[in-house]
Amino acid sequence: MPPFQPASQERVIFNVEWFDPESSLTRDMILYFYIDDGSVELFDRRTNRTFLKRTQVSTIGCKDLSLGSHITILGRHMRIVEYANERTRTFFEEDSQTTFALVKPAAVQHLGKILQIIESEGLKITRARMVQLERHEADRFFAEEQAHCQAAELLAYLTAGPCVALQLTGRDAVLRWRSLMGTTDCLTAGEECADTIQRQFGADRANNALHGSTGCEAAARDLRFFFPAAGAPRPLTSARLAADGSCCVILPHVLAERRLGDVVAAIQASGRLAVTALDLMTLTGPEAERLLEVYRGVLPECGKMVAQMSSGPLVALELSGVEEGQDTVEVLRELAGPRDPHLAALLRPESLRARFGKDLIANAVYCTDLHEDSLMDREYLFRILQPC
């Protein structure tokens, strides 16, 4: 194969963070992305030396570069922290504005349908986390809203069950999300608002479905509340970690295809499983290997499964049965279908892997096979890797 020949010097520049598992240190780097040929270059700010010479990488493109997003470069998982110059800011902010969205407790049962609407409208879900708000947290976050409704009723509603916090990215994200969301007083809105998400899934002004930031500054503030810097306090995960729950991981290729909403909607539409925890995260190779260690030496494709699971952002779910005494692990295995999507298409055409899988490795979802591993998997994903 001939050596790579750079085709252009047109580039955008970001400051990125990479957690180096060997040194257990977070390394600050400068990422150069060359627009025409999709090549990248990395410069280590601490050593003041080039870390990676200009190389073509097929795992990322311009659409993946937004503030707060996670990208994978030759197996290294990095988070984009900020634009490194004004030209890059100008280039991206037209198409990559970020905003904050919150799915409130009564609408969580419709989460999959809401995510479908978001993805179908061209907004990218770059962060997601299901949390259980404490009263003091809800009081602080919704201080302004309390002036417009009964504060006690609002706080009781917001803490009655889990909420889902989202970071959305795309052109004019703030205005587009508020348009999709619709007016807060969803029941008294006119027919022109009939297709808004509030109208479809909200109950009344106090018990509405969604919250959206009013502008870019408000979005930055809201995102810091739910997705703060490492080590800062944040709302607790909603994971129950009950013995009768199960674990499901929606693989990176599904998120890359923007079909997260389709998979979550299919799980909820089964009527047998409830989503009780959710976290969008990026696993390193060793972290994915730890999750899949029970398959090491058992499945010959285990190494490729680790590579797929660590190839980009994924979504971890905790699922609980909707009926008392239900075998949630078995229900999820049945819903997922055979591991090979081609076999699943023949035997279980309505299963998740038949509908959303591509091959034996990119097969849409990982789910716990054994009852004794279910709690261990969820503790690893929702407690050890996400300690808050």
* Whether 253 is catalytic: no
Write down the catalytic residue from 211, 253, 342, 371: 211
Within 243-319, where are the H helices?
A: 252-256, 260-269, 285-291, 302-309
Residue 337, phi then psi, degrees to nearest 5: 85, 175
Helices and strands of the chain, counted as H and E runs:
15, 15
**Coil vs helix vs strand at 237:** strand
Q: Are 67 and 83 in contact (CB under 8 A)?
A: yes
Up-side HSE of residue 200: CA atoms within 13 Å toward CB?
Answer: 14
Name the residues annotated as catalytic: 211
